Amino acid sequence: MKKLFSLALMLAATAAAPAHASLKVFACEPEWASLLQELAGDKIAVDVGTSALQDVHQIEAKPSLIAKVRRADLVVCTGADLEVGWLPQLLRQAANPKVMSGTGNFMAANAITTLEKPTKLDRAAGDVHPQGNPHFQMDPYRMLAIAKALSARLAQLDAANTAVYQQRLGDFSTRWSSAIKRWEVKAAPLRGSKIIVQHASWIYLEHWLGLERIGALEPKPGVPPTSGHLASLIGVAKSGKTLAIVRAAYQDPKSSQWLSERTGVPAVVLPLTVGGDAQSKDLFGLFDSTIDKLLSAAK
Amino acid sequence: MSLELNWDGLDISILGPACLAGLIVLSTHVPLGKQVLSRGIIFIDLAIAQIAALGVIIAHYFGVDEQSFGVQIAAAAAALAGAGLLAWTDKRWPEYQEPLIGTLFVLAATGALLLLANNPQGGEHLKDLLVGQILWVSYSQLIPAAILSVFLLAFMWLRQGRLTGLLFYALFALAITVSVQLVGVYLVFASLIVPALATAGMTGKGRLSAAYAIGALGYASGLVLSAVLDLPSGALIVWTLAACALLAQLVPAVRRSHPAQS
């Protein structure tokens, strides 16, 4: 409850509109709201569409969401079909030509290359995204590339503040790059660790930190586990030294706890985005918390 | 949950299409609900909606394009087939109709799960069919629904409300297939049952008008409240429908005629 309250406070703080903000921005997910905060400070007013305790693949329609998109100058979302279940309808209902496409429509996926882009589309492979895995907020290098593209977009929309955006981007890049070095040193002992994941949300983190995914609770993305699959996972988890069974803060704990109880491998909850736990108050906290939690599972 | 009031969403261009969708659904569901209630087959809408969803998943199996009109045909065909089956069981075993409906519902729901075990993307269509979100409705989407509703209403009017087994089930199947995709299963259930239940003791034309008024007030107040309180619209409308039904009991003409009061 306390956690929820502080989360609500934090969201309220990010959503509070500074009086002299020159751009109104709608961010689909909290990580982009946090990045926008770093890049623009009080030059913009940010509304966030979802929270870390929500499955962003699907959200409930509320009138306020449509109102927020309607008044926005810029919409910042993940893209790569992550929000395909609701963003197209939301944009259509808001009928705001500024953000339907073009400069007012920023999809982070377009600033980077995604992993797991299927070479051919096959329904049998599961709930796969044809544009690749969209959970790339957990790669700090891609985050930096997105920051650069987003900063340029802000300057394009609000030329009067270009100098501010450039200065803030420079400042963020410096702090972020030194944080990456710090995280990489700290997470070095995790290299080669084996993890079992709930949903394929961690591929970028795995690549960055050199974690090895030896299994997933969902046999295919978006498909609930069958009993045969769970039985084989017990064998997989016990076969080697498995570090953790990883799930995101919003996911139901049942299946990962079930596997943890039967194998003794700890179930670890990672924030996945800003606001996913008490420590993840911004992007820096998000990565600090993620690495701390994985390290404490290793002890 | 913070109880901060939010006036931004209170915009006719945001709430208008949703409100109209609600009125279109109510137009057919209020008279049909009366029949559902008197036949004592309360959960038939859930069963028919599930069967329609099953039809879509099966159509997927045979490669019907997900955006095409074929999906609607598949949904309607499955719903009509299910309705035919229920009309037959109604004639054959009338005393077991309600448990048969329940059984058909769980069979259709779990059948979808079994089929989807190998086709996760069908899951999105299943969800679209069952939890249609009233706020995402657009005016252009409402045109076919409105035309079909006019036809169904005209038909019911011509028959003077006397709908025999197969006719009733067929009309019902078509109405449900459309309305579920617009507003979702919870609202369809509430639109059918709540106004009919609230006016159960009334007779004649007054009953229909009272039921329509309760339904319309429920939708309108639910949409306004969901904007002001910043809550999901569909779920809140279910509650305002129930609240309006309860409030209506304060009106003597509605309450007095209840059997419990006489």
Give the tens place of pLDDT for each residue, A67-124: 999 999 999 999 998 998 899 999 999 999 999 999 999 999 999 999 988 766 555 5
Q: Which two tokens stand for residue B42?
A: 């309360």
Is residue B262 scored above 50 in pLDDT? no
A252 shares a domain with A219: yes
- Residues of the domain holding A174: 2-181
Measure CA B162 to chain center: 21
The alpha-carbon gap from B2 to the nearest alpha carbon of chain A, in Å, equals 8
pLDDT at A217 over 70: yes
**Contact assignment for B135 to A221 by CB distance below 8 Å:** no
Kindly report the CATH number assigned to the domain that includes residue A173: 3.40.50.1980
- A68 and B227 in contact by Cβ < 8 A? no
Q: Domain count of chain A?
A: 2
- A253 CA to chain B: closest CA distance, Å? 21
Q: How confident is the model at residue A223 (pLDDT cuts 50, 70, 90)?
A: confident
Domain boundary residue, one of A157, A181, A205: A181
What are the Cα distances from residue B81, in Å, to A103, A169, B75, B222? 49, 61, 10, 34
Integer CA distances (angstroms), B57 to A73, A86, B43, B102, B260, in order: 39, 21, 22, 20, 45
Asked if B124 reaches chain A (Cβ–Cβ under 8 Å), the answer is: yes
Nearest residue, CB atoms, B232 vs list A60, A66, A127: A60
Q: How many CB pairs under 8 A join A and B?
A: 81
Q: Residue type for A82, please?
A: L
Single-letter amino acid code for the residue at B92: R
Shortest distance between the Cα of B245 and any Cα of chain A, in A, equals: 24
CB contact under 8 A, A123 and B6: no
Pairing of strands A212-216, A44-48: unpaired
Residues A292 and A177 in one domain: no
Report the distance separating Cα B245 and Cα B71, nearest Å. Answer: 35
> Among residues A32, A28, A44, which one has the least CA distance to residue A150?
A32
Out of A181, A212, A228, a domain closes at A181
pLDDT-derived band at A276 (thresholds 50, 70, 90) equals very high
d(CA B262, CA B255): 10
CA distance A90 to chain B (A): 7
Task: Tell whether domain B12-256 is in CATH 3.50.50.60.
Answer: no
CB contact under 8 A, B227 and A63: yes
Which residue in B has a C-alpha nearest to residue A67's C-alpha? B9
Q: Is A68 on the interface with B (CB under 8 A)?
A: yes
User: Which of A32-36, A51-55, B114-118 is predicted most confidently?
Assistant: A32-36
Q: Which chain A positions have a beta carbon within 8 Å of B6's beta carbon?
A: 64
- Look at residue B78 and tell me whether its pLDDT is greater than 90: yes
Residues B214-256: tens digit of each pLDDT? 999 999 999 999 999 988 899 999 999 999 999 999 988 887 6
What is the greatest pairwise CA distance in chain A?
60
Share of chain B above pLDDT 90, in %: 47
> Same domain, yes or no, for A46 and A148?
yes
Residues in chain A within 8 Å Cβ distance of B117:
223, 226
| Residue with tokens 């309705």, as numbered in its chain | B83
Can you give the residue ranges of every domain in chain B?
12-256
**What mean pLDDT comes out for the span A209-234?**
85
- Helix (H) / strand (E) containing B115: helix B97-116
User: Rounded mean pLDDT of B30-57?
Assistant: 88
Q: Are residues A115 and A214 in the same domain?
A: no
Asked if B231 lies within 8 A of A62 by C-beta distance, the reply is yes
- Decide if A92 and B138 are in contact by the 8 Å CB cutoff: yes
Burial class (CB in 10 A: 0-12, 13-18, 19+), A223: middle
- Examine the domain organization and report whether A259 and A278 are in the same domain: yes
Strand partners, A244: A195
Distance separating alpha carbons of residues B183 and B204, to the nearest angstrom: 29
Point out the domain boundary residue: A149, A181, A213.
A181
pLDDT at B64: 75
A151 and A251 belong to one structural domain: no
| Cα A260 from chain centre | 25
